[in-house]
Amino acid sequence: MNIFKTKFRITWSETDALAVMHFSNYFRLCERAEEEFSNIMGFSFDGSVMFPRVKAFCEYKFPLKYNDYAVVELEIKEIGKGHITYRYNIYNETEKRDAAYCEITVASIDKNFKPIPIPNKYIERLEKFINGQ
């Protein structure tokens, strides 16, 4: 299985008064990684298909703090007819420790918010990524 990897610095606005990243911002890291992944994959979100989040899970292991560097690894756990589940491993590079493990499932819908199958152009690119092509 192929893994997409990216790195982010934890900013002041992502932290609380103790300079620890707020728990909800782990999902923001996941979304930022997904955005980077989508750009590299050449996905254009023209409004004909949308991918809202329908399920999210995160297990927190070690905090990220202001100015820490987080390495986010994204892999595709599952591609269904109308959904994709992404798995994220978030590593605190500064402290050399695992920070969190998250999963997010997105559904494929049209502009009228009706479920639709994931378009073939997305499936083909995702499968090539999974197979390392």
Instruction: Give this prediction's pTM.
Output: 0.92
pLDDT > 90: what percent of the chain? 90
Total tally of structural domains belonging to the chain: 1
Residue segments in the chain with a per-residue pLDDT below the cut of 70 = none
Closest CA to 43 of 115, 1, 106: 106
Helix, strand, coil in percent for the chain, rounding step 5: 25, 40, 35
Range of the domain at 70: 4-130
Task: Report pLDDT digits (tens) over 55-89.
Answer: 999 999 999 999 999 999 999 999 999 999 999 99
Domain containing residue 16: CATH number: 3.10.129.10
pLDDT value of residue 132:
84
Q: How far apart are CA 86 and CA 32, in angstroms?
A: 13
